[in-house]
Amino acid sequence: MRVEGSWLCPTELDRSRVVDANARVRHIRMVGVGCLGAALVASLPWISNWVLIPLVLTGVNLVTVQRRITRSARPERVSAWAILTTLLTLGVGVALDGGPVSSALPWLVLPAGMSAARFRPKVVITALLLTVAVVLAATLGAHPQLTIKNPVPVLDTLALLGAVTSIVWALQAAELHHRGEAILDPLTGLLNRHALVPRFIELSQQARLTGQPVSLVLCDLDNFKEINDTFGHDRGDAVLRDIAYQLRKHLRSFELIYRLGGEEFLILLPGMHRAAATDIAERLRRVIEKVQPTGVRTTVSLGVSTGRGEEVDYEALFKAADEAMYEAKRSGRNRVVTASASPREAEFEQAGLLDDAPAQVPVAAVI
């Protein structure tokens, strides 16, 4: 199953942010749910069922969201849906419990804070505006007289909303800055090996749950040492940057590209069977051959491997792609070699169960 970019997460970096954020705050989230449960138990003599019900539903939502994210090919949608349903559930509870006098009113701040820890600015601003709308609907809309008589609780909640969101946003921005320095290759701007490991673990878990394939394309520039020796290292670096740009330009946002080091790149193709991955590799080879980065004739050799379901193991797939890539080098370079089909992939090929319409590379890539 091929996953495209979306408004929530247009790039792989955005998507990995959502997945990583959910994993990192898992224990903190459980502590928060525990505090919520303790507060509910202590408050039982004084609160109504209208407050109890949405708070319990919110707790259940937070407890189960990590499992749903792990099992989904669209974790950003699961996370966004959990935040939205939490906000709406709490909003309904506040409206039924008296609006501005409800003890659950401050809890409406939580969903916006959760979004600030996961999503990009446009999504956070949308969540902030939606939260303001829910607060006003649950108070001024549902109980106009009570709200006008004493608007202080509503004003305090809105002020708390802005403060919490801005603090979480600032902390997350700082974390992203340091994280970006750790996982981005400074020369090409591509993701590096540090980003590859956790992403592949996630893809392998999804493949085991869904039985879908994952393909690797290992790409190595041909005769790169000669380029450095002839034109100098500055020109060689410019060639690498241009190659990275061309590869990124002709791949969709969730076809994942990493610089492994030197002149070697790795492309992850989640949900892509062997024939479709080979087609994409061949198209990329033709693109590089034609564009001649920085005016230097440059070609690449590519090796393709595919695993399906339980076969999606990084070491095995990388070894197979590496051997295929070196076979391309031995066979004359500037070509694509595909590793033999894995047992399960071979079964699907023989049974004709592969997708009828392999994922397409953008038109610009078709030379």
Please identify every residue annotated as catalytic: 263
Identity (one letter) of the amino acid at 361? Answer: V
> What does the alpha-carbon distance between residue 226 and residue 223 come to, in Å, rounded to a whole number?
5
Structure tokens at 201: 């673990």
Strand (E) or helix (H) holding 349? helix 343-351
The DSSP annotation for 2-63 comes to -----SS--SHHHHHHHHHHHHHTHHHHHHHHHHHHHHHHHHTTT--HHHHHHHHHHHHHHH
- Give 303's strand partners: 218, 337
Q: Answer left, alpha or beta for residue 333, where phi above 0 means left and psi between -120 and 50 means alpha.
A: left
Structure tokens at 261: 């080091």
Residues 6 or more apart in contact with residue 295 via CB below 8 angstroms: none
- The label of the residue with tokens 């006003």 reads 136
Residues in the chain: 367
Please provide residue 304's backbone torsions phi and psi, each rounded to the nearest 5 degrees: -120, 135
User: 3-state class of 88 per DSSP?
Assistant: helix
Q: Count CB atoms within 10 A of the CB of residue 120.
A: 18
